[in-house]
């Protein structure tokens, strides 16, 4: 029972870190008003380990939605809907 609790806390911390990483990647690319909506199974390549859905304001001032894709041995990719 304790191991399950530790696993759940570790998983939660991992998701929070990915949300922070997603926000950082988007800020570095010029996006603002970022809302990270959580993990998704769609929008990325099968080799991507993490897929985080977001909405934001792009550098041109337009509102956009998309997903930030990343994997263990590759950089992040921002894909717009």
Mean pLDDT of 53-75: 93
Q: How confident is the model at residue 2 (pLDDT cuts 50, 70, 90)?
A: very low
3-state secondary structure of 15: helix
User: Tokens representing 21?
Assistant: 């990483």
Q: Reply yes or no on whether the pLDDT at 7 is more than 70.
A: no
Q: Catalogue the E-assigned strands of 4-59.
A: 32-39, 50-57
Q: How confident is the model at residue 72 (pLDDT cuts 50, 70, 90)?
A: confident
Close Cβ partners of 33 (under 8 Å, ≥ 6 residues apart): 56, 57, 63
Q: What is the pLDDT of residues 11-51, one digit of tens each?
A: 343 445 688 899 999 999 999 999 999 999 899 998 888 89
User: Tokens representing 63?
Assistant: 């509102």
């Amino acid at each position: 029972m304790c191991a399950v609790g530790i696993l759940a806390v570790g998983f939660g911390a991992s998701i929070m870190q990915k949300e922070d990483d997603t926000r950082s990647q988007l800020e570095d690319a010029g996006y603002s008003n970022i809302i990270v909506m959580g993990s998704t199974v769609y929008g990325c390549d099968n080799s991507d380990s993490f897929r985080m859905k977001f909405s934001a304001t792009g550098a041109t001032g337009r509102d956009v939605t998309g997903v930030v894709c990343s994997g263990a041995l590759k950089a992040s990719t921002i894909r717009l809907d």
